[in-house]
Amino acid sequence: MATGTANLAVVTATTDLRFRPLTRSDLPLVVRWQHSEAARPWFGGGLSLEQAIERYGPRIDGVDPVRMYVALLGGRPVGYAQEYAAPPPPVPVGAALPGETVGIDYLLGEDELVDHGVGTALIGAFIDRVVRRDHPSATHVVARPDHRNRRSIRALEKNGFVAGLWVDSVARPGEPPVTEIVCTLDLHAGYADRVSETSGSGTTRTSQTAEIAVSVIGAAGRMGQEVCRAVEASDGLRLVGRYGHGDDLGDLGGADVAVEFSVPDASPDNVSHCLERGVHVVVGTTGWDDARLTTLRRQLDAAPPSRSGAPVGVLIAPNFAIGAILMMSFAAKAARFYESVEVIELHHPAKVDAPSGTAARTARLIGEARRAAGLGAVPDATTHDPDGARGARVDGIPVHSVRLRGLVAHQEVLLGGVGEMLTIRHDSFDRSSFMPGVIEGVRRIADHPGLTVGLEHYLGLD
């Protein structure tokens, strides 16, 4: 992920987004954008160039009344948007009938800009700079995203749109019908006060964004208490439930997302309870071996949809500290260059499992990288070790566990070659170091249906 580029884009997007009419020479770009990772699921895999010419050519030539524009960020084409005449939204009995209604559609096609506020800014800029100019008498703007596209729905909500009716689209030949949510923006209802503002830190915030309701399972534990404090301190999140050992989870307080920090023996049942109720789960409990993950995948296949109608998601993260995730990523990248490698993890003596989930995950990532590079077993002439002094083996990688009073969570990876050693180390001195990753998981899980193992997949480090 190009973090610096993305953060710069967020800061400048609201002032540096411009639009020009789409031309036929832009169609190869349109095709590439529709095949991007973020857009592909919503375009049936994306059009071919021939299909794009057939569909969009009449719009470009003015034969079709839909108007299409290329979105330019700092002069760089990053996506497109289109406007068209739309039927007015439903209104309550006795309310004034809406005036002109404009429909919009949009696509941010550069994956490195996704999830950094640029899509939200694109929608707002298109309304302000194109829709208002072309339709000065318009009173409402309507968009109809796929009901499973939480990223798009959230971007609309940040611009003041209100989600309404669910409708089935009219299918094009050879394409299945899609259930869409009619999202409406009232241009005369304080729109300017509702558009999200971008802070200098590069995060997008708005007082009108729908809050994410969060419950914490294992709330009485050290990590659970820290999670509760972090949720209560985070914009856009609302703590609706705290559950400890033996508590009836019930409906989880109406949560959208549950954060699960319990113990290995209880975690599978807790996660199953959440899935049966269509609640996304962010899991920090260890002990999820291959057998448990296989069972979990079957449960996800049978789970009802989430409250939004989108498929439910589960994130299992061995570690939520951003530095620890980077350490694992760096170790996997370095593994192919060194003949020897060992992992040492160090924790407080109250930790009940060994090796730690982070150490096991690190060893597996290293083992995969070594196999891909064609490396054999790590060299070790030991033939006599009755007391296990050489540690455990995880995916062929030696792993050593230390339990010592005064520690919190620490790990180092030692990589050795002829005449040199590389040490990659991460230290968590306080449990607060895990909270940015937990909150990031809560915010993003709705965009990642199914099972995800490792927060790195949410951060673009996979």
Amino acid at 213: A
Question: How far apart are alpha carbons 139 and 249 in whole angstroms?
Answer: 45
Q: Is residue 312 within 8 Å of residue 304, measured between CB atoms?
A: yes
Closest CA to 180 of 309, 3, 90, 86: 309
Beta bridge pairs of residue 280: 257
Question: How far apart are alpha carbons 176 and 195 in whole angstroms?
Answer: 34
116 catalytic per annotation: no
Catalytic residue among 348, 351, 448, 457: 351
* Residue at token pair 């330019």: 72
Please name the helix (run of DSSP H) or strand (run of DSSP E) that holds residue 443, with its range, or none. helix 435-444
Catalytic residue among 347, 400, 410, 426: 347
457 catalytic per annotation: no
Closest CA to 354 of 365, 369, 343: 343
Where does residue 25 fall: left (phi above 0), alpha (psi -120 to 50 degrees), or beta otherwise?
alpha
Question: How far apart are alpha carbons 70 and 78 in whole angstroms?
Answer: 8
What is the signed CA dihedral for 349, 353, 359, 361, rounded to 10 degrees? -150
Q: Is residue 163 within 8 Å of residue 130, measured between CB atoms?
A: no
At residue 130, what are phi and psi to the nearest 5 degrees? -120, -55
**CA distances to 16, 18, 79, 160, 222 from 76, in Å:** 10, 10, 9, 27, 48
**CA distances to 144, 176, 289 from 40, in Å:** 17, 15, 31
Positions marked catalytic: 347, 351
